[in-house]
């Protein structure tokens, strides 16, 4: 195939009528090794851009259009994962003022939690400004030399670790990723007891705040598991607890049934798909990067992870997926 032919085919395969954006929290505070934060100022610019130059739609609207195989061009859906408190206090007012709909996927085990998610607590402890002691209680297999180099505040885990503290964070995160909620909490508590650092600055929503968010116009609440564990390679009963349990928790808090789900860490397998279908979920989102086409399956919608980009950068990304 010629270069021009290859390019045309690649671009045509990429071009989609719609994309689903994935946000998490609305602050640019560090440490943020997973690029989860978008500043309030950038988010306001993003929403204004969507309203001005694209076609913002709700996830339910897009689902109907996929099912009917008629998606209007330049459709963009806003979603935010996990259930950070700033979703209500920073994002929702901006969305409401611009009339842009959004779905908030909430991990219900974190509701009313005094701390934050284990990966945020871990980042605050290991990547904070304080010194680290030479002797740390670490998960099996994770080694720490004790010679503490200050972490680079802007390090993100899509790059190789730039200091030994970044490397320690990444190794500990990897060791805990599939360890389950009890082991994760225990590991973070042990570290907290030996490190004179502060806790995470990224609080999660209270039950009252979830109910408030759910009542706002343009807002849909979706489920995101109870403990945010990856739902692949798990037994059926645990997956069902995570999927049905988080839907039931949210229905109880908001008084509304839950129709959408986002797989924690994007992890899914046949068992996770089956659980989501059994729970009556209409739309499930992954973290696979991609656009939404008429043939996209509604139980594995790809999404675009939005970083702390300027509106111009977001516009470039959207044009790359949606065309001009």
What's the min distance (Å) between Cβ of 217 and Zn ion?
A: 25
What's the min distance (Å) between Cβ of 22 and Zn ion?
A: 9
Q: Which residue is nearest to Zn ion (CB)?
A: 81
Which residue, 81 or 242, has its beta carbon nearer to Zn ion? 81
What's the min distance (Å) between Cβ of 197 and Zn ion?
A: 24
Which residue, 58 or 227, has its beta carbon nearer to Zn ion? 227
Query: Which spans of this chain sit near Zn ion (rule: CB under 5 A)?
Result: 81-82
- The angle, 0 to 180 degrees and rounded to 10, between the axes of the packed helices 181-194 and 164-176 is 150
Which residue, 17 or 37, has its beta carbon nearer to Zn ion? 37
Which residue, 82 or 86, has its beta carbon nearer to Zn ion? 82
Which residue, 192 or 229, has its beta carbon nearer to Zn ion? 229
Pairing status of strand 219-223 against strand 102-106: parallel
DSSP state of 274: H
How far apart (Å, rounded) are the C-alpha atoms in residues 139 and 186?
A: 10
What's the min distance (Å) between Cβ of 11 and Zn ion?
A: 31
Three-state secondary-structure class, residue 13 = helix
How far apart (Å, rounded) are the C-alpha atoms in residues 153 and 30?
A: 6
What's the min distance (Å) between Cβ of 34 and Zn ion?
A: 10
Which residue, 32 or 81, has its beta carbon nearer to Zn ion? 81
My answer on whether omega of the bond before 78 falls inside 30° of 0, hence cis, is: no
Tell the residue number behind the tokens 């928790």, with chain if given: 249
What's the min distance (Å) between Cβ of 258 and Zn ion?
A: 16
Q: What stretches of the chain show up as alpha helix (H) in DSSP?
A: 3-14, 40-53, 59-68, 86, 92-98, 118-127, 164-176, 181-194, 207-215, 236-254, 270-278, 311-322
């Amino acid at each position: 195939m010629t270069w021009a032919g290859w390019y045309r085919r690649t671009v045509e395969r990429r071009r989609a009528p719609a994309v689903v954006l994935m946000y998490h929290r609305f602050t640019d505070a560090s440490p943020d090794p997973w690029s989860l934060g978008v500043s309030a100022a950038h988010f306001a610019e993003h929403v204004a851009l969507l309203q001005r130059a694209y076609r913002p739609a709700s996830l339910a609207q897009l689902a109907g259009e996929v099912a009917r195989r008629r998606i209007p061009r330049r459709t963009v859906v806003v979603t935010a994962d996990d259930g950070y408190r700033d979703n209500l206090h920073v994002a929702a007012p901006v969305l409401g003022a611009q009339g842009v709909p959004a779905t908030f996927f909430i991990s219900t085990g974190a509701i009313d939690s005094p701390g934050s998610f284990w990966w945020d607590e871990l980042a605050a402890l290991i990547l904070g400004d304080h010194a680290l002691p030479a002797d740390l209680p670490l998960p099996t297999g994770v080694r720490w030399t004790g010679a503490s180099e200050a972490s680079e505040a802007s390090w993100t885990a899509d790059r190789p670790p730039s200091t030994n503290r970044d490397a320690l964070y990444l190794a500990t995160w990897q060791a805990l990723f599939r360890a389950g909620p009890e082991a994760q909490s225990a590991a973070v508590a042990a570290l907290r007891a030996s490190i004179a650092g502060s806790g995470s600055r990224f609080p999660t929503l209270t039950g009252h705040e979830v109910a408030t968010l759910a009542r706002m116009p343009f807002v849909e609440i979706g489920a995101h598991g109870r403990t945010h564990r990856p739902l692949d390679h798990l037994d059926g009963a645990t997956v069902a607890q995570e999927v049905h349990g988080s839907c039931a928790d949210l229905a109880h808090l908001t008084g509304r049934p839950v129709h959408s789900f986002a797989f924690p860490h994007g992890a899914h397998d046949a068992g996770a798909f089956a659980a989501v279908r059994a729970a009556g979920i209409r739309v499930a989102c992954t973290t696979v990067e991609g656009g939404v086409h008429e043939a996209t399956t509604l139980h594995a919608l790809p999404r675009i992870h939005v970083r702390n980009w300027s509106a111009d950068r977001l516009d470039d990304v959207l044009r790359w997926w949606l065309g001009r």
